[in-house]
Amino acid sequence: MKKKGKITIGAILIVALLASTALLSTANTSGDASEQVSINKESYVTHRSISQQPTSNALTEKIVNKTYTPTNETFLVRNFMEPISIEEIKEKREKIINNFVNAMGKPEHAIAIATPEVPEGARIVAYGFRIYPNGVTTQYVGMAGDEESVQIIHKHAQEWYDKYVIKSGAYWGEISRGEADFYKSPYGGVTNNFECRYLYNDNSNTRNWYAIKHIFAMEPGCQRYGSGWKNYRGYPKHDWSASTLGNPQLHEWDPLGTHTGSQTIAVSITGGTEGASATWSWGYTQPDVTTIDQSSTDTEIAKWEEQFNNGAVQSSTGGMKPGSCCAVNQHTSGTYRLLDLTSEGKFKNWPYYYILELTNQIDITYS
């Protein structure tokens, strides 16, 4: 699927098969739905040429007047007396975008760019622009108001280049998202939404990496139906052991440990090996609940328990946004199960309890 030394990515098709099940002792209710998202990714090879032009006004020894011009990026570094013009930026950027469209076709989303306004007396002494295979752009503009500041800008420019060009081969790209709800009167409802990402350019010919952001929520019957049923326990679960891709290994999940009370939860998921890794991060506000991590690499399942601690949170919509990532065997064709993603809500109307469960069976197709 991928060959070392260039970006060669086959098409991936994500199919989310949704199955819902409501459980109460012997009670059982289920429903099915389906959605699919197809992303075509052609070969997009980076060719690099480096040219140096001598200058008598060089403020650094090696970085001044270098121009990197691969097909999907440009990196310009100049001195204060020979700055980069806005016209040159536009010309370079337009050429890169045209190269991208010719190689990849137009992306489904608009290509975003930014053109800086140069303050009076300032000069552009560094500029970088890159477009990724999914059409996302990144840019750096460095301006100096005097010669003394040029070296600072050059340092920042090199940091940008190291971060977004040299080390940016691996990145999490979204390949699917889905929304699913299951409601039943008088108990309430559960939400099982997700975003799925794939690790591009992971430098592996044998393994693939996938990550899930799970949007789990419960709405109690007392809020939705005016009944006496309230939120009691919530159980979001990422069952990577259900994968048929071969050798699934749960690598990372978040949040870790136990979190009690209202607070901001930061989630960070890192995947990849062989010197190519990337991190996907987000955050959410936890209400007055207790979240307990029940995940295990032994079972390849990431799972949490959310305990609703008082009447206020038991009587209103609550949930969490956990995430996890997993490495699986790489394939070039065929359809496989990636994971089962479950939202389970346990509602109470003392002394009775009722469980609503909704599962997304997420499959992928290589072609």
Q: Kindly write down the DSSP assignment for every residue of 82-129, as one continuous string.
A: SPBPHHHHHHHHHHHHHHHHHHH---SSPPP---PPPPTT-EEEEEEE
Q: What is the Cα–Cα distance from 234 to 347, expressed in whole angstroms?
A: 9
Q: What are the C-alpha distances in Å from 137 to residues 46, 112, 144, 293? A: 15, 7, 24, 36
Measured CA to CA, the distance from residue 238 to residue 299 in angstroms comes to 11
The whole-number pLDDT of residue 170 equals 81
pLDDT given at position 16: 42
CA 147 to CA 141: how far, in whole Å?
A: 16
12-42+171-366 topology per CATH: Leukocidin-like (2.70.240)
Query: Which pLDDT does position 159 carry in this prediction?
Result: 87
Phi, psi (5° rounding) for residue 289? -130, 170
176-226: pLDDT as tens digits: 999 999 999 999 999 999 999 999 888 888 999 999 999 999 999 999 999
259 - beta bridge partners?
Answer: 291
Residues of the chain with pLDDT under 70: 1-71, 166-169, 274-275
Three-state secondary-structure class, residue 148:
helix
pLDDT at position 166, please?
Answer: 66
**pTM of the complete model:** 0.63
pLDDT at 71: 59
- Helix (H/G/I), strand (E/B), else coil: 207: strand
pLDDT at 60: 34
Cβ-Cβ contacts under 8 Å for 263 (sequence gap 6 or more): 285, 286
- Would you give the end-to-end CA distance of the chain in angstroms? 10
Neighbours of 110 (CB within 10 A): 8
3-class state of residue 5 by DSSP: coil
- Where are the CATH 2.70.240 domain residues in the chain? 12-42+171-366
